[in-house]
Structure 1
Amino acid sequence: MAVCDFNMCFTFVWVGWEGAAHDARIFMEALRRPILKFPHPPTGKYYLVDAGYPQIKGYLGPYRGERYHLPDFRRGSQPRGKKEIFNHRHSSLRCPIERTFGVWKNRWRMIRQMHNFLWKNKYK
């Protein structure tokens, strides 16, 4: 699990979960463990999270069941309604985290293979 700011800097990273743990499980565990010093959003501010995370105070996810990804909007019509407009803006604001991981994967190519490496070693 990783948290990154709009300057493409990681502010929190937690690695090492074995197997296929759901994002929400890892997130809730990070919140429960004070020793990890998870950086909660300041009062009145929000972290943007994807649909795999729970909707709790301080963490803002997209509306489920509505278009979300930017290519979906590029192929079709402009966002319609409050929920689609919100999802379009939410998706646009999440671009830095996606770009950050892309930069890291291009810089350190072993990161691309990490999922395959972990999967193969777990299920030998």
Structure 2
Amino acid sequence: MDNSGATKFSLVTGKLLSRQFHFVLKAVLKIGNKYIKKDHAALHEGDYRWKWFKRAFGPLDGTHVPLAFPIEDQGRYRNRKDGLSTYILGAWDANLKFIYVLPGWEGFTLDSRVLRDALSWRHFLEIPS
């Protein structure tokens, strides 16, 4: 196989892999609430520093993860440092356990835009009372 054939095969395989990954991810998200136990009992009980932050869950931050993308998608995932990355938003509790992850945003996305989108979702961080 010559280089052009290998490149075409690589793109087709990459597209197929991406499509199958998203298929599995959507399936996991559908059954997640049924099979993934959320540990809300130990949020901040007994920690005097959190008494001023009722119903707070912990830090929230995003990061860019460098990845390789097919040529037709590279424009969307180009970040401000001219690299290719995807943006991932995460939140964790006081015990440094992840309680929320939102992956897959384009590389040049602002934190506020990702957070605004996450807040519009129906199941975003169900905070216990």
Common topology (TM > 0.5): no
Point out the structure with the larger helix share: 1
TM-score (norm 2): 0.29
Q: Which has the higher contact order (CA 8 A, sep 6+)?
A: 1
